[in-house]
A and B are shown apart, each in its own frame.
Chain A
Amino acid sequence: MAYSFPEEVLEYVFSFINSDKDRNAVSLVCKSWYEIERWCRRRIFIGNCYAVTPGIMVRRFPEIRSVEIKGKPHFADFNLVPEGWGGYVYPWVVAMSRAYPWLEEIRLKRMVVSDECLELISKSFKNFKVLVMSSCEGFSTDGLASIVANCRNLKELDLRESEVEDLSGHWLSHFPDTCTSLVSLNIACLASEVSFSALERLVSRCPNLKSLQLNRAVPLEKLPNLLRGAPQLVELGTGAYSAELRPELLSNLFDAFTVCKELKGLSGFWDVVPAYLPAIYPVCNGLTSLNLSYATIQSPDISKLISQCQNLERLWVLDYIEDSGLDILATCCKNLEELRVFPSDPYGVEQNVALTEQGLVSVSEGCPKLQSVLYFCRRMSNAALVTIARNRPNLIRFRLCIIEARATDYLTLEPLDAGFGAIVENCRELRRLSLSGLLTDRVFEYIGKHAKKLEMLSIAFAGDGDLGLHHVLSGCESLRKLEIRDSPFGDKALLANAAKLETMRSLWMSSCSVSYGACKLLGQRLPRLNVEVIDERGTPESRPESCPIEKLYIYRTVAGPRFDTPGFIWTMDEEGNTPLGIA
């Protein structure tokens, strides 16, 4: 019986339960478990910063030590979300600065962070340890200076792909000489040169430093000394990997890498001069993760490198690897779990490299543990997709981007419905899928029928009409995030499946055929959703209700409509009134 255990015992038991799902389940058992659980929850994950308010969070969970918050929708990565959309972290930091003096970790993704915000963080939390900002923007290197100067116990500073206003590299010198706590430092996205001597001293006095990702401005000559100062590194991102050919630098670098016995991950490699690649041979066999996606080296050099990395689990690479390089990958790297192939010339009209669907087929044949794929290519066939699906039923993530929109099966000139159909039918554990090529409603029929574990689906330039969307919304039981662009989906499917939207995190639709009238209806019927109409042509009230809107973002929320929307966003009102928003 729940009431016969003292609270302390329950708390102790709950401390072993760390997954959010389980914690949420625990809190629903009964009132006393809800109460006990809320007092001992230390970590919280907020997948959509507008689904809940900071106030609600701090009221329910008074003892949080670690917060993770996500802001803008995924399509913001591709410039589809207009500037000023939102995702401001400031209100969160203000609320937490009052409620959580012992906060240790903040992890943000696609949020707008200001320098004031960073300063507030650095001054409010005495034991602050971890700051990870993934694809964030709005701050400058001044903000970073506050963090490193004031956070005495800083363990992680990770700026993953954020857009930082880079005023100078001077911020790094604000690390106090007494700072020895650093475990992870990622400044790869910064352009400015930091003081190398400050960096060297910092690196060598932090014995627990496991992950160091330098920026491009750190020249290759500096790398050997840095490595010698941190032989315990597990992850390294090099700076620019080029220099004039000097044998003594090559051997110096080689010797430095020899000392790094723990190195498992390598990245960086901007401006690669192939002659310096042999310097990393000492660590190749131990590598599990290799990111060559900035390395403009050709297939033979890539292949030589890969053939030495027999334990590789993750490879990110440019399409310079070509089919021949992927064949070698398939032969040599039997532990490969994740492959991402990025386009070297995404806007070029013609194929500039010999990379086709064949490369992916080879890898699917040769790598039995392959579960995560992101692949950019210029042609695909149903036959190849069927082969891949049959080879790899264990796929979890499959994101294929055939560069030309609406490209057909290059052999039969048919849509690629059958190919993607085979993927969802064979890969029963598929959680994420991105489609491309010419697709009719048929592919959505297959997806609705088979993709029962699918959580995230990305659709572009696909489908014939509402039926396609209806298949997805009515069939995909596990769907959490759906993002659609330039597809002829409209009102009928949305209105028929309105209730489904409350079971999902969010729906994004841009350049589709959803009318303003339908949006108003949705807003009325589903008060627990925010239905945001994004339209830069001016208020939708000035056009007929049947007129399609530009962009639509729908998400479930307990916070009600937000009040930080810019002038081009209108939130549909529950009462069906003139929508909230600045006119």
Chain B
Amino acid sequence: MEQESHVMKATELRLGLPGSDEPVKKSNNKRASSEMNNNLSNAEKEDHQESPVPPTKTQVVGWPPVRAYRKNVLRQKKTEADSSGMYVKVSMDGAPFLRKIDLKVYNNYTELLKAFENMFKCTIGVYCEKEGYNGSEDALTYEDKDGDWMLAGDVPWEMFIGSCRRMRIMKASEAKGLGCL
């Protein structure tokens, strides 16, 4: 099943450089759109400076053609709805107590990992397709809305915080099982 979805993904027609969709593989949140789209206007630059919501996809100026006041209304609604914070439990294998963190405080995976590394005094590795998990690093996993345990980092940040219910930092040896196709 997973293999099929991989093949579908590889042949899927998309607007973007290969491998540019999910922005986090190794603490790398560089916006591919700055390479892709050499028509970034000043207006769009201003837009992004004012709005800290990270793009979930390589964004092209003015596409889809949604007017600014509509975008603002929806964005406002989203932030209002979530203004109470998004606290999830975090467990770390071997630690006696669980912790709670507010996912809304972070803007991307890098910041989240850093926070964990400080909180739990561990090093969290990011799964890399070629190398799998480095044996000495821990892995970050989360339980999603459907109750499945997922490896953190595959989906765009916004989607992740929307579906994450709780998190677990696993010892790398156990995490290897999750990462295999």
The chain A residues found within 8 Å of chain B, CB to CB, are 75, 77-80, 82-83, 161, 163, 189, 270-271, 293-294, 296, 342-350, 376, 401, 403-408, 413, 438, 460-461, 485-486, 510-511, 536, 550
Taking the closest CB of chain B, its distance from the CB of A71, in whole angstroms, is 16
Nearest residue, chain A, Cβ from B39: A511
Per-residue CB contact flags for chain B residues 1-26 toward chain A (1 = under 8 Å, else 0) read 00000000000011100000100000
A-B contact pairs, 11 of them (CB 8 A): A78-B63, A79-B68, A80-B41, A343-B64, A346-B64, A347-B55, A348-B56, A376-B66, A403-B64, A406-B13, A460-B63
Report yes or no: A77 in contact with B67, Cβ–Cβ below 8 A: yes
Q: From B65, B69, B159, give the contact of A349 (CB < 8 A).
A: B159
Nearest residue, chain A, Cβ from B40: A536
B156 within 8 A of A: yes
Give the docked Cα–Cα distance between A342 and B71 (Å): 11
Q: From A78, A83, A345, give the contact of B42 (CB < 8 A).
A: A83
Report yes or no: B73 in contact with A294, Cβ–Cβ below 8 A: yes
Report yes or no: B41 in contact with A536, Cβ–Cβ below 8 A: yes
Q: Given A161-B67, A294-B73, A344-B74: A404 and B14 within 8 A (CB)?
A: yes
The interface on chain B, measured as residues whose beta carbon lies within 8 A of the other chain's beta carbons, has a size of 33
Report yes or no: B65 in contact with A347, Cβ–Cβ below 8 A: no
Which chain A residues lie closer than 8 Å to B65 at the CB level?
77-78, 401, 460
Report yes or no: B43 in contact with A82, Cβ–Cβ below 8 A: yes
Give the docked Cα–Cα distance between A296 and B56 (Å): 20
Which chain A residues lie closer than 8 Å to B14 at the CB level?
404
Which chain B residues lie closer than 8 Å to A293 at the CB level?
70
B117 within 8 A of A: no
Which chain A residues lie closer than 8 Å to B67 at the CB level?
77-78, 161
Which chain B residues lie closer than 8 Å to A342 at the CB level?
66, 70
Give the docked Cα–Cα distance between A401 and B59 (Å): 16
Give the docked Cα–Cα distance between A271 and B77 (Å): 7
Taking the closest CB of chain B, its distance from the CB of A95, in whole angstroms, is 30
Which chain B residues lie closer than 8 Å to A438 at the CB level?
13
Give the docked Cα–Cα distance between A376 and B43 (Å): 24
B115 within 8 A of A: no
Give the residues from 23 to 47 in chain B that come closer than 8 angstroms, CB to CB, to chain A: 39, 41-44, 47
Which chain B residues lie closer than 8 Å to A348 at the CB level?
56-57, 158-159
Give the docked Cα–Cα distance between A254 and B77 (Å): 26
Most chain A CB within a 10 A radius of its CB, from B59, B63, B70, B156: B63
Taking the closest CB of chain B, its distance from the CB of A353, in whole angstroms, is 13
Q: From B13, B21, B43, give the contact of A79 (CB < 8 A).
A: B43
B98 within 8 A of A: no
Taking the closest CB of chain B, its distance from the CB of A355, in whole angstroms, is 14
Give the docked Cα–Cα distance between A343 and B64 (Å): 9
Q: Given A80-B41, A511-B39, A536-B41: A376 and B68 within 8 A (CB)?
A: no
Taking the closest CB of chain A, its distance from the CB of B30, in whole angstroms, is 17
The 5 closest A-B pairs by CB, nearest first: A78-B62, A79-B43, A405-B15, A78-B65, A346-B66
Which chain A residues lie closer than 8 Å to B156 at the CB level?
349
Which chain B residues lie closer than 8 Å to A271 at the CB level?
77, 80
Nearest residue, chain B, Cβ from A294: B73
Which chain A residues lie closer than 8 Å to B77 at the CB level?
271, 296
Most chain A CB within a 10 A radius of its CB, from B61, B63, B65, B66: B65
